[in-house]
Structure 1
């Protein structure tokens, strides 16, 4: 028996329960983990409220990220032993597995022996943010030194990961945030420039930063009508990557910038990377190297205890955090 987060109906944070359930032994290709810490993502909030790409089947488990000690391994699993310190790359859909609990099973393909210099909270906060940013900026956009990258919702965990990866590659991270309240913190976290899009002229600022050449990449989890302005400030052969839908309104795509600058507008999910063994291994190698060297480091906004899981979801919904929300066991 172990305490696991579940919910029995769609709703607000109050529907979450920490329940004692029997956790089955790991099946073939699975690893069982005694959890020390869990990462919370926007995806779990959307899953709980019925707004995610998959629908919950009740009673529903949830959770994409966790770090802890290997408790058992299923048949066919190699490279991991009982007692190993590991964390999990999201490589499954919510509903298939759920990592928010004291004892959980996860597919072995997503298990990583993270660098020993990480705290449990940091290990649990790592993989969604850095793998999402890696897949877009490195695997797809192949950003190069000196290129300008616009990072929307930059204070989110993925936004901060994108800032770090962009800097690691010698490119120029430009943080986009709605208002200037988070400007100083984003500069502290490594942004070369910060643009408050509700307070500043996006076109004028990007032209100033790029000497009129426009940005090479825009990385956006929001969408909605503001996308039109972002496409306008991309340069020739610019790439717009949409990786979320916080605004579910249709995208507004202006035709003349699209044609005149030969832009690429592309949807992206990290599962492009994490469900394909070859790019997944490249992502693991890149991120582990960065974590070990210290050039990549997850930023943690706040930690909660397992019994405070509803409060952690409420904090996520407040949108005041800068970085990752982590729940500890």
Structure 2
């Protein structure tokens, strides 16, 4: 089979198209024929050699995909040809991932679904839906009628979380560092775009004088203190991502950093956090037009992965980059 392999860290040229054996099915594993996959920041980080120690090279990157079951072990409940999604769980990091015609993953992280949506849409969803849903449900316990601030609102997870929160019945504030993207956020349902010049707490409190009920931090630790200041007493901030690559806080002390009575939590999930019925609900929401998926660009064939990662790094195309294999 054809696959993209990173043999050593570096630039775009380190994404090498290679012939590999089709992975044989082993006990507890399902082989998926990949139809489409999203291209993510973590895969860029892996290619650049900046990932944590759980990444080993050479490696086929790719932390998510949508496709069909090619072969499954007896007792898995999965049948060949069945539509499935998978993501995370070490995929593309500690074992070979989705930048390939076939991927072999643990049966427990395979989520079956049925949908008539195009593969370009389905391939964009697994990691975005899982991370956004986990952040809103497990991280923030968001409910209808609450106010939500998304710091990093034009990221793929931010856009998905905004759409999910609106579908839930929340009021959404979302940040952007580019004023020209405010209209895009409004078009996707965001109630209050907020220009992020590094400090947004005062601007957020002009909209919500007591502070927002919940905030999703996707930019990083360098902005976390300011995000905490935008949240009301007994509100919650969930740290999920760090698009600015700021994952730690030097000399951290809770006093002075975390405002009195504001709760700070985090979310870093796995496929098992996304029940099949939740994925089905989100797919139906997309099909019905209640959930807008922002696909930046659809790329065709494994040979287009270099272009997709380059476009992602450029930041010129807000939304998800998707590679469709057929």
Separation in structure 2 between the aligned mates of residue 257 and residue 21 of structure 1, nearest angstrom: 50
Give structure 2 stretches of 5+ with no counterpart: none
* Aligned CA distance change for structure 1 residues 233 and 15 (closer, same or farther; 3 Å): same
Alignment deviations for residues 16-41 of structure 1 (CA, whole Å, 9 cap, x no partner): 01111102221112221222211111
Match of 1:318 among 314, 321, 325: 314
Q: Tell me what 1:303 maps to.
A: 298
Q: Tell me what 1:174 maps to.
A: 173
Separation in structure 2 between the aligned mates of residue 145 and residue 315 of structure 1, nearest angstrom: 36
Separation in structure 1 between the aligned mates of residue 7 and residue 96 of structure 2, nearest angstrom: 16
Separation in structure 2 between the aligned mates of residue 313 and residue 264 of structure 1, nearest angstrom: 36
Alignment deviations for residues 74-94 of structure 1 (CA, whole Å, 9 cap, x no partner): 34422x111112222333342
Counting matched residue pairs gives: 317
Deviation at 1:154, TM superposition (A): 1.2
Separation in structure 1 between the aligned mates of residue 320 and residue 241 of structure 2, nearest angstrom: 17
Equivalent positions of 1:173-322 (< 5 A) are 173-198=172-197, 202-210=200-208, 212-245=209-242, 246-248=244-246, 250-251=248-249, 255-256=255-256, 258-260=258-260, 262-271=261-270, 274-275=271-272, 279-281=273-275, 284-293=276-285, 294=288, 295-305=290-300, 306-322=302-318
Q: CA RMSD in A?
A: 2.1
Give structure 1 stretches of 5+ with no counterpart: none
Q: Tell me what 2:149 maps to.
A: 150
Contact 1:231 1:253 (8 Å CA) reproduced: no
Contact 1:61 1:95 (8 Å CA) reproduced: no
Contact 2:86 2:111 (8 Å CA) reproduced: yes
Separation in structure 1 between the aligned mates of residue 90 and residue 245 of structure 2, nearest angstrom: 24
Match of 2:258, SS state, is helix
Contact 1:117 1:292 (8 Å CA) reproduced: no
Deviation at 1:250, TM superposition (A): 4.2
Q: Tell me what 1:82 maps to.
A: 80
Contact 2:83 2:114 (8 Å CA) reproduced: no
Match of 1:213, SS state, is coil
* Aligned CA distance change for structure 1 residues 256 and 181 (closer, same or farther; 3 Å): same
Deviation at 1:257, TM superposition (A): 7.2
Match of 1:226, SS state, is helix
Contact 1:287 1:296 (8 Å CA) reproduced: no
